[in-house]
Every structure is written in C-alpha cells, then in structure tokens.
A and B are shown apart, each in its own frame.
Chain A
Amino acid sequence: MCTYTTIAAPVSGSAKGPGGQWFHVTDATVYFDHPVHAMDEHTLNIDLSDPSRGPGQRVALELTAASARELLAAIAAALDAAPDELTA
C-alpha cells in the first residue's frame, strides 16, 4: 500500500550530503511508505534537506520499522544522558 502519510518538521543542524559536502539542513520530512532503495515493502523514510538549495540538497534514510524505533530510542537515550543545560 501507499500510506501517503507525510509529516514535516523544521530542524536546524548540518548533514553530509551530495558530493560529500556538509550543508545546513532546515527541514525534515518523515513518512512510512515504499522505499527507493531498501529491500522492504515499506520503510520509515526521513529526508533531511535545505529546499532553498534545490531538490538534490537532501540526505535520505530508509529504515525498517524496527530499526527506526531503535534509532528513536537511541536518540532519546543520548539526549537523556546529556546534561539538561546542554540540551534545553
């Protein structure tokens, strides 16, 4: 199935993208749908991008549902382990 479901979030940070160049990312798009490359029928897909610099300025992730949850937990654990004053 195509879930179509798409969730957007503003972000700020950097990513290493096309041509091995770092760039500032402003947008995250998250959706659970067919992947382009992963060998699963559906994956949790994340696009980190800077739309102002064109469609190709993007880092794409396609994760199985289980691994996406692992990543979510790992991100939460890393943030929780850091002092509050650094992550506020």
Chain B
Amino acid sequence: MSDSMTTRTVTVAGHGGDEVPAYLAQPEGAGPRGGVVVIHHMPGYDRATKEIVRRFAEMGYDAICPNLHWREAPGAAPDDASATVRARGGVPDDRLVGDVGGATAYLRGLPTSNGKVGVIGYCSGGRQSVLAACSLDLDAAVDCYGAFVTGTPPADFPLLVTSLVDRLPDLRAPLLGLFGNDDAHPSPDEVDELEKLVQENGKTYEFHRYDDAGHAFFAVDRPAYRVAAANDGWERIAEFYGTHLGN
C-alpha cells in the first residue's frame, strides 16, 4: 500500500444545509475503500486533529474532519475559535449530528468509497462520536475517552452537554471504546455503566482500558500523552476499522 496522499479543504453540506469547511485526506489510488469522519476535540479544528486525519489516510481510508467551530468563528485561529464556542455554550448536539452527517455523505459520495464510513472522536468528540452513531447511519464508531456518555453533568452545568444514556438503545454501529483508568471523566465507574448499558441493549462493542493513562492519552503534544496506551489504541482502531470498514 502506498503512503502517498492528497489533502485539501473541501465544503460539506452540514446542519441546516450550511456549507461547512472540512479537512480531507485521501490515499493515492482508486479504491474502493472505507471512510472515516474525525470529530475534533474541544480545543478545535487544530493541527493535531489534522495530523490524525492524515494518519487515517495513511492507514488507507478517505478521512475528513468538519470544522465544528466554523460558524461562530470563520477564519479564526483554532484556539480563538474554541474560546468563542466555549463562551457560547459549546457545539449543540443537533448541529453536531448534522455536520457529521454531511461529512459522512461527502465521503460516501466520493468515487473511491466502498460505502462504509466510521466515526471517531476524542475527549468531547468521544461523546459526540457515540451521539453520531445513535443518530446516523454509520458502520463503526470509536469513542476515545468521551465524558458524559454516561454520568450526569451538574444541574448548573454551563455547556450544552447531556448524558447519552437515553440514546444508547438507538446505537446502530459497532462501538470501540478506549479509556484511561486514571481518567475522572469518564471515570472507570462511568465506563462500567456504559459497558453495562451497551450489553443490556444487545449492541456490538469492544472496550479497552489502560492503566497508567488518563484523559487525552492519544494527544502527542500534551503531557497527558501515554505512549503504550496510544500505540495499543491505534492498533485496536486499525483492527476495528479493518473489520467494519474494509471491502
């Protein structure tokens, strides 16, 4: 397999028909191949997230990341955009679903597509990955340490985040969950609750939990990075997507 790829910014039809910029990376070659929608973390549509998009292209997938903060801050630096969105309460769930749906449709419309699309998100994007898989026709979902999939945010919580417990019966894609045992959100107890709920609802899932790892252990540019957990996590993702997004 070649590791050559092409990257560019494209526009997807997001929530409400809005034109949303998205970063696209495509491997060389005609396909057919699966696609991956990357949901960026709360710090935004940043360099680290685009590196993840390119990594999925290197792994053989058409990969795309919509800029979820574009509406509030078109053209702004990722950190400024993130600060603006945070001050306004975060990304609304319905808008997230619409934007991920648009990115999914874009991938399926590519001439290289085999029709299969997975989603992955980190931190706040982990919860949003589960939300997308409860709302959209996806083939695989990966939740990397998303908080408040289970567990209840405080009553005075300032952001528009709610538990997804009531949505889990609608989960319609196999779920891979990757969690650090030193994390507080989601805590190991909250991961236990999520596992219990997906079991009770008869969903296909696979969870991996890592010692000596907390939140954001995949983040190579942050002190939370944990090499062993991240390396194993990437292997689990490769196997999972290979199973569910392959030809």
CB-CB contacts of B35-74 with A at 8 A, as 1s and 0s? 0000000110000000000000000000000000000110
CB < 8 Å: which of B72, B83, B123 contacts A47? B83
CA A24 – CA B206 in complex, angstroms? Answer: 51
CA A54 – CA B222 in complex, angstroms? Answer: 28
* Complex interface: chain B residues within 8 A of A49 (CB): 83, 87
> Number of B residues contacting the other chain (C-beta, 8 Å)?
33
* Complex interface: chain B residues within 8 A of A39 (CB): 223
Which of B8-16, B24-32, B156-164 is the interface stretch? Answer: B156-164
CA A34 – CA B123 in complex, angstroms? Answer: 11
The answer to whether residues A2 and B123 also contact, given A29-B86, A55-B83 and a CB cut-off of 8 A, is: yes
Q: Does B185 touch A at the CB level, under 8 Å?
A: yes
CB < 8 Å: which of B82, B147, B153, B214 contacts A41? B214
Inter-chain residue pair count (beta carbon < 8 A): 78
Q: Does B90 touch A at the CB level, under 8 Å?
A: yes
CA A8 – CA B84 in complex, angstroms? Answer: 12
The answer to whether residues A41 and B87 also contact, given A55-B80, A58-B80 and a CB cut-off of 8 A, is: no
A20: min CB distance to chain B, Å: 17
B-side binding surface: helix, strand, loop or mixed?
loop
Q: Does B239 touch A at the CB level, under 8 Å?
A: no
CA A12 – CA B242 in complex, angstroms? Answer: 55
Interface residues on A, range: 20 to 34
Q: Does A83 touch B at the CB level, under 8 Å?
A: no
Q: Does B113 touch A at the CB level, under 8 Å?
A: no
B 153-189 contacts with A by CB, 8 A: 153, 157-159, 161, 183-185
CA A65 – CA B16 in complex, angstroms? Answer: 41
Q: Using a CB–CB distance below 8 Å, which chain B residues touch chain A? A: 42-43, 72-73, 76-77, 79-84, 86-87, 90, 123-124, 147-148, 153, 157-159, 161, 183-185, 214-216, 222-224
